[in-house]
Chains A and B, each alone.
Chain A
Amino acid sequence: MYFQNPKPLISIAESLISITPKVFVVEEDIYADISPTEKLFGGEQRLIQKVETLLDLFQTHPPWVVTEKINWAKALCIREKNILKPGESQALLLSLPIDSLVCCGNPLLIKNEEKARVELVAFLKKLGLHFCSDFLKIPPASISRRFGKLGVSLLHSLQGENEPALPLFEPNEPIRFSIETESLFSLESLLFEIERVLPLLEARLQGRHTLIQQMNLSFFLENKTQLNTLITFSPMTREPAVILRVLSECLNQMQWSSPLRHFSVQITESITTSASQLNLLDNTEERFQELGDYVYRMRLRFGERNVGFPLLQSTYLPESSWTLIWPPQENAFVYPPHKRPLFLFSNPFPFDLNRQWSLTELEHLNLDWWKTSIHRHYFLATHQQGEKLWVFWDLQKKKWFCHGCFD
C-alpha cells in the first residue's frame, strides 16, 4: 500500500501502525506492507475500508495504491485510489508511458537517481521507446552495456525482482494538538471541538501502542497570560470517551481571568502497551556517565525540543538568538560582541519604569519588517540600589519591557 504525499505525514504514518506494524516513511510518502495483517481485519477489502476510515478521520485523500510490489507502487499511483488485484499490477505498469520509469524501483534511491533516471528516459524516447513494455523488449545484455547499473535495476524492477527492504518508521515526535477558541463562545462548543480531535489522538496512540499517563493542558488567554494544568490518568487510557470525560471535568472547574483564545494539549507521559519501550526511570541510569548520554536521556525525558546544546543564531533578535541542537556542533556560530546580558527572560514582560531607574541607550532594533515588524530601543536600566536590567521601549506597543538582567 502506497500513499503519495499524505498530510499530516507523521500522524497518518503513526496511525497506520495500528493497521500494520510494517509502515515505512520515505521522503514525503508512506509505504505500508499489509500482507501480515490482512487476515486480521477480515481480508483485504475490510482492511482497505479501515484505511479509508482512517483517511476520512484525517480529512485527507491523497492518491494511493494497493499493489504487490514496493518497486511498482509509486509508478502505479496514477489516480486517487488504485486498488489492483494480484496479477494486474505488472500489466498496468508495462502499459504506462515510459516516463513512469523515473519513479519505478527502490523508493530509497528514486530521489538521488532522479536526474540520471530523467536523462535515461529522455534517451529512451529518442530511440522511439514510448511505453514501459518497450524497455523490456531490449535484450538484458544490451541494457547492461548501455545503461549500466541503473538500467539493470530498472529492468529488475519492471520484472518484479529485487524488492527493497525499507527502514521501519518509528514515531518519536511528542503528541499534541491545539484548538483556536476565538470563535467558540461556550464550554460545550470547546468540548465539541475536542471530541472531534480525540479520535485522531486515539489513532496515533494506537499506532504507537501507548496509553496516556499524563497530559498537560495549556490555556492562552486574551490578556497574554498562559495557564497550564497537568492531568494524570489512572488508569491509563487512550479511549476518546474517557479522555473527553476527564477533560470535561477539568474544564468545568477552570476559571479564566480573560477570554480563552487558544487551547493546546500535549501528552507529557505515556506508557507503552508493548514491552520494548525504554523506561527512563529504571536502574540503568548509572550507565549514563557522559554529558552527551545524560542530555540524551534528558531529551527522552523532557522531549526532544526542550533539551539540547545551544547553537547561536545569525539574528539580532534576542529571543531568537540561540536554538537547541542535538548533537552538538563543533563550529557553532560565533556571536558578535554585543553588550547584551547573559540572562534573558524567555518572554519580555511589561515593566514599570519609575524614577528610581536611570537609563543609558544601548541599541536600536528595526527588524523583521516582512513578518512581524519589531521596533525596539534597548537601554541599560540601573536602579538606585545597583540592580542592572536590560529594558526596551517598544515603539509599536508604546510600552516598556524588561528583557534581561546584567550581572
Chain B
Amino acid sequence: MDASIDFAELLVKTQYSFLEGASSPEEIVSTATTLGYSALGIVDNNGLYGAARTHVAAKKHRLPLIIGTEIEWKGSPLYLFAINHHGYGNLCELITALHQKNAWDLEHFAKDLYAIVPALPFAHYDELHSFFPKRLSLSCSFSLDGQDQERMRLAEQIISQTHLPCIASNKPLYHVPQRKILHDVLRSIQHRKTLNSAGFHLLPNCERYLKSKEQILSLFRRKPEWVSHTLDIASLCTFSLDEIKYRYPNEWLPEGQTSDSYLRSLVMKGVLERFGTSPSKSIISQIEHELSLIQELEYSDYFLTIWDIIQFAKSQHILFQGRGSAANSIVCYLLGITAIDPHRLGLLFERFISRERHEPPDIDIDFEHERREEVIQYIYQRYGRDRAALTAEVICFRKKSALREVGKVLEIPTSSIDSYQRISKRRSLKDIPIEEFQASAPPQDDTFFSKYLMLCQEISGFPRHLGTHVGGFVLSQDKLSRNIPIETAARETRTIVQWDKNDLDQLNFTRVDILGLGILTALRKCFSIIKEVYQVDLDLASIPAEDPRVYESLCKADTVGLFQIESRAQMNMLPRLKPKTFFDLVVQIALVRPGPIQGEMVHPYLKRRQGLEKVEYPHPDLESILQKTYGVPLFQEQIMKMAMKVADFSGGEADELRRAMGIWRRDGRNHLSQMGEKFRSGLINKGISKEFADRIFSQIEGFAEYGFPESHAASFALLAYASAYLKCYYPDAYVTALLNSQPMGFYPSHTLLYDASRHGVTAQGIDINFSHWDNQLLEPNKVRLGFREIKGLRKDTALTIEALQKERPFFSLADFVERLKKVLLPTALTKRDLFFLAAADAFQSIHLNRRKAFWEIQGLYLKDDISFQAMDTTYLLPKEEAWETIQSDFNAMGVSLGQHPMSFLRTEIASLRTLDTRSLLQCHHNQKVRHVGMVVSRQMPPTAKGVLFITLEDEWGFSNLIIWNDVAQKYRDPLWTETFLIVEGTIQKSANAEITHLIVDKCTSLFPRTSQ
C-alpha cells in the first residue's frame, strides 16, 4: 500500500439529495478538507440543489469541487460531471429536460460532460461509450454489505470486456458514521415507513461516510489504480460556479439606446411628472449620484426590467407599490416603482445600493394579492420559460414537523406527538425540560425518548423538499436553463430554479420580488365600490392628505382592519403617540417593532414627544439627524447617518455595519467586529456618552433582525393612511372590500363585521336569490353577504347561481336544482354544494330555513342521484334556537348576523358578577375585576419575554388582557385553546385614562366541559 497516493471522492451526496443525504455541504467540505482529499465531487439526485452552498464552502476551504449529479438512465444510476463551462450548461439543460418529464436524449447533452456508471451488468456500455468517448468510467464501491466480493468480481469482468477505467468510491451519504442514525430516520420518512418496518430501505451499516485516504487505500489495496484514477477525473473537470456569467435581459431597449441612456431618459421623464420643470439642485445632484452608481455597477437593466413590469401592472389597473429599501432611491420614485419621495424625507440611498456591499439591489414590489398571478404570467410570457423562473425555497424540517415526522417513524403515539407539539409551541426544544414532555405524555422508555428529542433537534433545519419562493423571479438575457436547472413547481403554471435566494445572492444573480399584498386588493376593491355606490372617483394618489378626522380616529385606536396599525401593540401605542401628521404615522409603524423596543427607545421617544422629558442630543453633530425623532434614533437610516457623520463611515461601510450586526447576532458570537468597535469608539471620541453608544449599538442589533428602515415604514404608512381614510369616510365600502379580499389582515371576518356594525353598517344574510360571489354594498351602510363567505362552496357553483338570478328568481328547491342542473354538468352539482348553501341558511327566500333545507336536500339527493322527488311535509323539525343559529352561522361561514355570541351568555354569567367592556373603561386604576369575553386574538411577541396579550370582544367592544409569563404558564390550556374566557385581575390605566389594560391573575374557561 502506497500511503502517498492521493484520492478524490467523486460520488458524494449532500443533504440536498432530499431525505437521503444526511450531512450539510459545509460538514462534508470541512471533513473532506480535514481528511486531505484532493478534490470533491457532489452528485445530488436529479439536480444541483446543493451545488451553490457546496461551492461557497469549498471555496472557503480551497477544496477543488466537481459539480455533478446522479440521474437514472435506462435503469442504471449515471453520474454526470461538468468538465467546463459549456459542459455545465449542458448539465443544467439536461436536468431541466429531465424534470419536464418529456422524452430526452442523453447524447444531445453529452458534450463536455464526464460520465461515471457503476460497474454492474448493464447492456448499454457501448452506447454510453459512444456518447462519452474517453469521458466514461466505471465505479466500484466497497460497502461491507456482504456483496463487496461479488461487486469486485463483476467490476473486473466488466473492465476486461469494456476496457473502461474504473474509480474507487465509498459513495458517501454523510460525513461521519454517527449520522447513520439521522440517515435512517430520513429514509424512513422518505419511504413512509416506521424504523421497525423500513427493513431494506435502510442501509445495513454505517460505512457510507467520508473515509480517510488510508481507509480507502486499504479497502482497494488490490486496485490502487482505481483510487488514482479519481484524480485524473478531478483534474479534467475544472469548471467552477464562479465562471457563470449572468446578464440581465435588455433586448427590448428602443433602437439607438443603451440601458443607461434609456434609464436616464425615463428618470428625466419622471422628474417632469414629479417635480415639474425646475427641480432643485439637490434633487438633480441626488439623481446624478444614483444614476452614476447604477451605471457603474451595471444595474440599469435591472431597473428597466422592474419598470417594464410595473408598466404592465398599470396597463391592467393592478395596484402595486414598491416597498423596502427601494424607497430610499429617487430613481425608483421617478420610475414610479415607489410612492415615497426620498429626497423630501431625507432618506439614505446607501441603504439601498452601495459599492461596498457587492450584492445586487433588492427591489420588492407588492401587487394586489388576488392579481399577482397575472403579473407572474406576464413575466413568463415576456421572457419565456427558459429565461425566467421563480426562486426556489428549500422547505426544511421545523420543530413541529420534526416532532411529528420523527415521532411517526419511531412509532410514538399520535396523541403523544400532539401533546409534545402543544407544549413546545413558541419554545425551543432545547429550552423545555425533558420532565415537562414526560409529564404531558409519559413515554414508555426514557432513554428512547431522549433519542427522540435529540433527533428532532438534529433534523430541525434539514432540507425536506423544494418549494417555491413567494415571489422572487430570476430573469436572464441568455438561457437561464444553462445557468441553473429549472423544474416545474407544484403549481404547474410555474417553473422554479433549483436554488434558493441565498444561493442566488451568493452567485450574484439578481432577483425581482413580485409579492402579493392583501391591502392593495382591498383598496382597489374599495375604490370600485365607492365609485359604484357613492359615485366618487378615488385612487391612492387622490386620497386627501393629512385629513384631521382620519388622525382623530387613529388617536382613538379605531383601527380594526387597517393596514399595519391594527395589532394589539399598535392599538395600544396610538393613543399614546397621538399621530397628527403623516410622519407621525411613519414613526408609529416603525416604533412598534422589536428593534426600537429592544433598544429601549420607545419610552424616551414618547416622553419627549409629550413634553415630559427634555429633548437632548448626545452631540451637536447629531442634531440634524435626530431632530425629527426628538433626539431618539428610530430608523435604520438614522443609525447609518450617525455612523457616517460621527464615526467617519462611508455610506457603504455604514450599511455594512448594519448588516454585520445581524450576522453577529445569528452566529451567537459575543465579540464586536472591527467595524462595531470603530463605530463605538467614533461616538465616544466625539464626546458621546458610553451609555448612549451602547444603547445605539443594541438597537442596531435589533434593527438588523426586525427593524424597519424609514423608507419601508413610509411606504407602509402611505397604505395605512389610505386604509384609515377609507374606513373613516366609507366604513361600509371598506368592510365590504376587506371581506372580499380575505384571507388577509389580523382579524377574522366576524370581528370586522361586528366592528363595522359599531360604525352603523348593517349586513344581510346570504340568499340564493340575492347574493353574489362577492359581498355587495347594496346602498350606504347596507351590506349583503356573498357566497364567498360560505366555507367549502365552489366558486363555479356560486357564479352559476349568480348568473341564473339574472334570468328570474328561484321559487323552490326543485326549481333551483333543475335550473342549476341544466347549466352545470350533472356531476358538477353535488349534494355537498347544496348542503353548504343550506348550512349558510341561503334558502330563506324560498321559505326553507336551515334545517328544513337540510332535510329536503337529504331527501332529494340520496346516493347523489339527481332526481327530484316530492317533498314530504309530515315531519316537523325542531325549531332552531337563537344561540344555535349563531353557532350554525359560525360553523358555515365564520360570521353571524345574529347577536354577538356573548349576548346569549349574559343570563348564564349574571351570577358571576363580571364586568363587560363598557364597564371596564369606567373602572379606576388598580381596581380588581372579573371579566368575560370571546377571544379575538392572542399574541406572544418574541420581545415580550413570555408575556401573552389577548384581546377579548363582547357586544360593546374590545378589552385588552396582559398575562405575565408565570400566569400564562399556569393557565396555558384555557388561554391558548378556549374561545370564551373568564378572567380575574387588576385594571391598569394610563395617566390620561385613555388606555385600559387588564392584568390577569386567574383564568378559566367559560365552558370547561366543552373544551374537551
B-binding residues in A (CB < 8 A) = 123, 126-129, 134, 137-139, 141-142, 145-148, 313-316, 336-340, 361-367, 369-371, 378
Does B149 lie within 8 Å of A366, measured CB to CB? no
Question: A-facing mask of B739-782, CB < 8 A → 1, else 0?
Answer: 00000000000000000000000000000000000000000000
Using CB atoms, name the residue of chain B closest to A339: B146
With A142-B872, A366-B177 already in contact, 9 other A-B pairs whose C-beta atoms are closer than 8 Å? A137-B875, A139-B874, A142-B875, A145-B862, A339-B147, A361-B144, A363-B145, A366-B180, A366-B204
Q: If A126-B851, A148-B862, A316-B200 touch, does A362 touch B146 (CB 8 Å cutoff)? A: yes
Does A364 lie within 8 Å of B872, measured CB to CB? no
Does B859 lie within 8 Å of A340, measured CB to CB? no
From A129, A146, A364, A370, contact of B207 by CB (8 A): A364
CA distance in complex: A378, B204 (Å):
12
CB distance from B710 to the nearest CB of A (A): 54
CB distance from B879 to the nearest CB of A (A): 7
CA distance in complex: A283, B869 (Å):
68
Question: A-facing mask of B171-213, CB < 8 A → 1, else 0?
Answer: 0000001001100100000000001011111101111000000
Flag whether B854 is at the interface (Cβ < 8 A).
yes
Flag whether B1007 is at the interface (Cβ < 8 A).
no
The interface residues of chain A lying within 8 Å CB-to-CB of B878 are: 127-129, 134
Question: What are 14 A-B pairs at a CB distance below 8 A?
Answer: A127-B851, A128-B878, A128-B884, A142-B872, A142-B874, A145-B869, A145-B872, A313-B199, A316-B199, A339-B150, A363-B146, A367-B202, A369-B451, A371-B448
Flag whether B815 is at the interface (Cβ < 8 A).
no
Using CB atoms, name the residue of chain A closest to B876: A137
Does B858 lie within 8 Å of A370, measured CB to CB? no
CB distance from B935 to the nearest CB of A (A): 24
Question: A-facing mask of B370-414, CB < 8 A → 1, else 0?
Answer: 000000000000000000000000000000000000000010000
Flag whether B855 is at the interface (Cβ < 8 A).
yes
Using CB atoms, name the residue of chain B closest to A376: B205
The interface residues of chain A lying within 8 Å CB-to-CB of B466 are: none
CA distance in complex: A314, B198 (Å):
8
Does A369 lie within 8 Å of B184, measured CB to CB? yes
Q: If A126-B851, A146-B859 touch, does A366 touch B451 (CB 8 Å cutoff)? A: no
Flag whether B728 is at the interface (Cβ < 8 A).
no
From B177, B195, B869, contact of A370 by CB (8 A): B195
Flag whether B988 is at the interface (Cβ < 8 A).
no
Flag whether B888 is at the interface (Cβ < 8 A).
yes
Using CB atoms, name the residue of chain B closest to A144: B862
Nearest 8 A-B pairs (CB), nearest first? A314-B199, A363-B146, A128-B878, A364-B205, A316-B204, A364-B144, A146-B858, A338-B146
Q: If A123-B854, A126-B851, A127-B855 touch, does A339 touch B874 (CB 8 Å cutoff)? A: no
Using CB atoms, name the residue of chain A closest to B207: A364
CB distance from B1012 to the nearest CB of A (A): 13
CB distance from A109 to the nearest CB of B (A): 19
The interface residues of chain B lying within 8 Å CB-to-CB of A123 are: 854, 858
CB distance from B775 to the nearest CB of A (A): 25
Does A146 lie within 8 Å of B862, measured CB to CB? yes
The interface residues of chain A lying within 8 Å CB-to-CB of B872 are: 139, 141-142, 145
Flag whether B225 is at the interface (Cβ < 8 A).
no
A-binding residues in B (CB < 8 A) = 144-147, 149-150, 177, 180-181, 184, 195, 197-202, 204-207, 410, 448, 451, 839, 850-851, 854-855, 858-859, 862-863, 869, 872, 874-875, 877-880, 884, 888
CB distance from A99 to the nearest CB of B (A): 13
The interface residues of chain A lying within 8 Å CB-to-CB of B199 are: 313-316
Does B205 lie within 8 Å of A363, measured CB to CB? yes
The interface residues of chain A lying within 8 Å CB-to-CB of B839 are: 126
CB distance from B849 to the nearest CB of A (A): 10
Does A370 lie within 8 Å of B204, measured CB to CB? no
Does A338 lie within 8 Å of B875, measured CB to CB? no
The interface residues of chain A lying within 8 Å CB-to-CB of B206 are: 364, 366
CA distance in complex: A192, B869 (Å):
74
CB distance from A121 to the nearest CB of B (A): 13
The interface residues of chain B lying within 8 Å CB-to-CB of A148 are: 862-863
The interface residues of chain B lying within 8 Å CB-to-CB of A145 are: 859, 862, 869, 872
CB distance from B475 to the nearest CB of A (A): 48
Q: If A126-B854, A148-B862, A363-B204 touch, does A370 touch B410 (CB 8 Å cutoff)? A: yes
Q: If A339-B149, A365-B205, A366-B180 touch, does A128 touch B144 (CB 8 Å cutoff)? A: no
CA distance in complex: A337, B150 (Å):
10
Which of A127, A138, A313, A337 is the most central at the interface, judged by chain B CB atoms within 10 Å of its CB?
A127
The interface residues of chain A lying within 8 Å CB-to-CB of B869 are: 145
From B146, B451, B880, contact of A128 by CB (8 A): B880
CA distance in complex: A314, B855 (Å):
53
The interface residues of chain B lying within 8 Å CB-to-CB of A129 are: 878
CB distance from B814 to the nearest CB of A (A): 16
CB distance from B836 to the nearest CB of A (A): 12
CA distance in complex: A283, B321 (Å):
95
Using CB atoms, name the residue of chain A closest to B149: A339
CB distance from A381 to the nearest CB of B (A): 15
From A138, A336, A364, A365, contact of B200 by CB (8 A): A336
CB distance from B575 to the nearest CB of A (A): 45
Does A127 lie within 8 Å of B149, measured CB to CB? no
The interface residues of chain B lying within 8 Å CB-to-CB of A142 are: 859, 872, 874-875
The interface residues of chain A lying within 8 Å CB-to-CB of B200 are: 314-316, 336
CA distance in complex: A316, B181 (Å):
16
The interface residues of chain B lying within 8 Å CB-to-CB of A363 are: 144-146, 204-205
CA distance in complex: A137, B150 (Å):
77
CA distance in complex: A148, B862 (Å):
8
CB distance from A362 to the nearest CB of B (A): 5
CB distance from B152 to the nearest CB of A (A): 12
The interface residues of chain B lying within 8 Å CB-to-CB of A336 are: 200
The interface residues of chain B lying within 8 Å CB-to-CB of A141 are: 872
The interface residues of chain B lying within 8 Å CB-to-CB of A146 are: 855, 858-859, 862
The interface residues of chain B lying within 8 Å CB-to-CB of A137 are: 875
From A147, A338, A369, A371, contact of B147 by CB (8 A): A338
CB distance from B871 to the nearest CB of A (A): 11
Does A126 lie within 8 Å of B204, measured CB to CB? no
CA distance in complex: A370, B185 (Å):
10
Using CB atoms, name the residue of chain B closest to A335: B200
CA distance in complex: A366, B144 (Å):
11
CB distance from A149 to the nearest CB of B (A): 11
The interface residues of chain A lying within 8 Å CB-to-CB of B451 are: 369-370
The interface residues of chain B lying within 8 Å CB-to-CB of A126 are: 839, 850-851, 854, 888
CA distance in complex: A326, B201 (Å):
26
CB distance from A377 to the nearest CB of B (A): 8
The interface residues of chain A lying within 8 Å CB-to-CB of B879 are: 128
Does B854 lie within 8 Å of A364, measured CB to CB? no
Using CB atoms, name the residue of chain A closest to B839: A126
CB distance from A253 to the nearest CB of B (A): 39
CB distance from B876 to the nearest CB of A (A): 9
Using CB atoms, name the residue of chain A closest to B195: A370
CB distance from A319 to the nearest CB of B (A): 14
Using CB atoms, name the residue of chain B closest to A129: B878
The interface residues of chain B lying within 8 Å CB-to-CB of A338 are: 145-147
The interface residues of chain A lying within 8 Å CB-to-CB of B877 are: 127-128
The interface residues of chain A lying within 8 Å CB-to-CB of B197 are: 314
The interface residues of chain B lying within 8 Å CB-to-CB of A367 are: 202, 204-205
CB distance from B121 to the nearest CB of A (A): 13
CB distance from A331 to the nearest CB of B (A): 16
CA distance in complex: A262, B878 (Å):
65
Does A365 lie within 8 Å of B204, measured CB to CB? yes
CA distance in complex: A139, B873 (Å):
11
CA distance in complex: A316, B201 (Å):
10
Q: If A316-B204, A361-B144 touch, does A369 touch B150 (CB 8 Å cutoff)? A: no
CA distance in complex: A253, B345 (Å):
102
CB distance from B406 to the nearest CB of A (A): 10
